[in-house]
Amino acid sequence: MSELPLLTTDRLRLRGLLDSDAAQILAIRSNAEVNKYLDRPNDTTIDQALSFINKIKAIVSGGEGLYWGITLKDKEELIGSICYWNLEPTNKKAEIGYELHPDYHGQGIMQEAISAVLAFGFNDQYFELITACPKQGNESSVRLLKKTGFSLTGDFTDEETKSKYLDFRLTKADYLTRLS
């Protein structure tokens, strides 16, 4: 899929990234609270943010992932992102990832965004399994995943970073059961 669809909820628009999002991308990717549970270097310049946006555009256009910027419906300013990556089309499987600027934490925004992206993944992409792998200790992400129907199935250690991660899964069957 090379065309990323616009997804909307009651309060949110999930859309592709724009070059004009560079300042907001930088604000998110350089934020210590956002990066606390992510194994990545902080972006520190607009050029790094633009490079990231271009990388994401190439991934989406190449069908290697799906990546939405999250905005409030009545504003263009990016407040977070949500994506599918580690796509395994033959296994009908993908991993979900997300980040939200701390100014918007605790408002149910990411739960709303995840709900829209899960519906798209199970209904339009025909995924049978969606996984999520938050870093151990990221309790807000754990609560969010449990609220949206994911089940904890175990943990693992990333050999490169030596960080411990939790393995959450949501099957299409469990998702549909939850909706009924």
pTM above 0.75?
Answer: yes
pLDDT tens-digit readout, 75-84: 999 999 999 9
Q: Where are the beta strands (DSSP E) in the chain?
A: 7-8, 12-15, 66-72, 78-88, 93-100, 129-132, 151-157, 164-171
pLDDT tens-digit readout, 115-164: 999 999 999 999 999 999 999 999 999 999 999 999 999 999 999 889 99
Residue whose pair of structure tokens reads 């798209």 in the numeric block: 120
Pairing of strands 129-132, 164-171: antiparallel
Q: Is the dihedral of CA 147, 149, 152, 156 positive or negative?
A: negative
